Amino acid sequence: MSLSLPSPLPQLPPSFPIYWRGDVHYEHARVGRVFNHRRPDRYPLAVVEAKREEHILEAVKLAKTLNCRVSVRSGGHSWAAWSVRDDAVLIDLGKYYELSYDAETQVAKASPSTTGRMLNTLLSHHGRFFPGGHCPDVGIGGFALQGGMGWNCKNWGWACERVIGVDVVTANGELVHCDKSQNTDLYFAARGAGPGFPGIVTRFYLQTLPVYSCMRSAAYFYKKEDYRKAVSWIIELAQDYDPDTEIVAVSSYPGGSEEMRIMVLLVTFKNSEEEARAALQVAEDSQPAGKIDGWFMKPTSLQNEYDDQAAANPEGHRYCTDNAYVSNDADVVSVMEKAFTTLPTRKSFTLWYSMAPCSRRQLPDMALSMQSDHYLALYTVWEHNHDDAKNRGWVKDIMQGVERHSDGAYLGDSDFQSRQTRFWGQEQGKRLMQIRKDRDPQGRICGFLDLGDKSGVEGLRNEHHWLM
């Protein structure tokens, strides 16, 4: 049973940007910025389109007055639309912008709705760079909180490792700063808790990198029938490849092709043509026979790569995703074969992302703690709701064959309503759930959206569902 609107409505500042359920613009405020057009039948009590930090503080106070929960939206790219929760006050940060760079510390400050393209456009003027999300319009809020599998993550590490501080509105409505020396529990949680973070981040402090002046790529396309040959090659090659080169294998119907193709793509970040050629030459010299298309030493840029990612993830479509960290000791090529060779639509794609050597090192003290050498993700893309069952069924069928060969999954491409698995190491998961209870014992901040939205203060069990 849903909550009724209070009568009379609470007294709020005249300029406070709120839309109550039933208001004329409520529906657009509810889901207008949800990227996935498979939009949920869940209805917040109100939507606050925050424009300033004070609006966020005021919205939390309002939720306490109404005795309801608070949910948060940064970029709107959560595939499962975690921000849209029944009877909550939804704080939409899409109009809350803050972005600056300090040349002395080389630290950028950014509000959660800042996208990777926006951030790196600013940083490029200062000769700097931040390895944010691959899709250009993903907000750094959700991206960094869930860990941040950003550019060249396999070598440079997780984006959240470069989060050196956050400003947070707590469940009690206080504004606090969190870093390695103060409010360390929230700092631990801010780097890997994802939607279970027990507060609202208003500002990220990001350690930047020097920009790379020479980006080049190499690509190798194979027929679907050559899947095993192509993927076996790149998995073996990737383990100790050049440390500034990102490596991915993708199954798709490229450029409107009638035939499914397996693409192996390498993007190298260097500062000279010679360095880039040396990095890519290893793949060029070892490529297996049978390539049907490709390129070598193709000039590219971050902006070009953003455009390609946007084309692969078109707006106005319906999505269903899932993922797994395939265990290092599994027969990885066999585990992924069905996912790579049976795409349900021409816009869907399957991705293998090389994670070694980052996956083999000791991570900092942070919630993000689940990884393996092999990241497999399914991105099912379609246009009409009458195809929902077919596409969601394909994802479920694939994951039933994959999950028992996996160590766990990445928060960003998961839907806790559909499948439970491990998302953190055992100790990190226990610690995170305790921080949630300590910091938000009333469950004011909406946490993990599991089936029926029942997890509440307890959070997720962090166990494979077949072992529960």
pLDDT, tens only, 94-131: 999 999 999 999 999 999 999 999 999 999 999 999 99
> pLDDT value at position 2?
78
62-72 pLDDT per residue, tens: 999 999 999 99
**CA 289, CA 308: separation in Å to the nearest integer?**
27
Buried/exposed code over 287-309 (b: 16+ C-beta within 10 A; e: otherwise): beeeeeebebeeeeebeebbeeb
pLDDT at 230 over 90: yes
> Tokens 């899947």 appear where?
227
DSSP β-ladder status, 46-49 and 89-92: parallel
In which element (H, E) is residue 66 found? helix 53-66
Helix-strand-coil split of the chain, %, nearest 5 = 35, 25, 40
**CA 287, CA 408: separation in Å to the nearest integer?**
31
> Tell me, what amino acid is at 262?
I
pLDDT at 87 over 60: yes
**CA 321, CA 399: separation in Å to the nearest integer?**
10
128-174 pLDDT per residue, tens: 999 999 999 999 999 999 999 999 999 999 999 999 999 999 999 99
pLDDT at 1 over 80: no
pLDDT at 194 over 70: yes
Of 96, 118, 116, nearest in space to 48 by CA:
96
391-438 pLDDT per residue, tens: 999 999 999 999 999 999 999 999 999 999 999 999 999 999 999 999
The answer for residues whose C-beta is within 8 angstroms of residue 245's C-beta and 6 or more apart is 152, 155, 266, 267, 268, 269, 279, 280
Buried/exposed code over 233-245 (b: 16+ C-beta within 10 A; e: otherwise): bbbebbeebbebb
**CA 443, CA 70: separation in Å to the nearest integer?**
9
**CA 107, CA 146: separation in Å to the nearest integer?**
20
> pLDDT value at position 11?
86
**Mean pLDDT of the residues in the chain:** 97
Q: State the CB neighbour count (10 A cutoff) for residue 459.
A: 21
> Tell me, what amino acid is at 264?
V
**CA 415, CA 407: separation in Å to the nearest integer?**
17
Structural domains in the chain, sorted by start: 18-92 (3.30.43.10), 99-210 (3.30.465.10), 214-413 (3.40.462.20)
Average pLDDT value for residue range 280-298: 98
In which element (H, E) is residue 351 found? strand 349-354
| pLDDT band (50, 70, 90) for residue 47 | very high
DSSP string across 276-330: HHHHHHHHHHHPPTT--EEEEEEEE-HHHHHHHHHHHS-TT-EEEEEEEEE-TTS
Token readout for 428 is: 């990190």
pLDDT at 48 over 80: yes
Of 210, 160, 180, nearest in space to 367 by CA:
160
In which element (H, E) is residue 63 found? helix 53-66
**CA 238, CA 283: separation in Å to the nearest integer?**
9
**CA 300, CA 288: separation in Å to the nearest integer?**
24
| pLDDT band (50, 70, 90) for residue 459 | very high
Query: How far does CA 7 lie from the centroid of its chain?
Result: 39
Three-state DSSP class for residue 176: strand
> pLDDT value at position 339?
98
| pLDDT band (50, 70, 90) for residue 249 | very high
Average pLDDT value for residue range 236-265: 95
> pLDDT value at position 466?
87
- Phi, psi (degrees; rounded to nearest 5) at 92: -95, 120
Please tell me whether the peptide bond between 14 and the residue prior to it is cis, using omega within 30 degrees of 0. Answer: no
> Tokens 């969190």 appear where?
178
pLDDT at 212 over 60: yes
> Tell me, what amino acid is at 260?
M
**CA 136, CA 304: separation in Å to the nearest integer?**
10
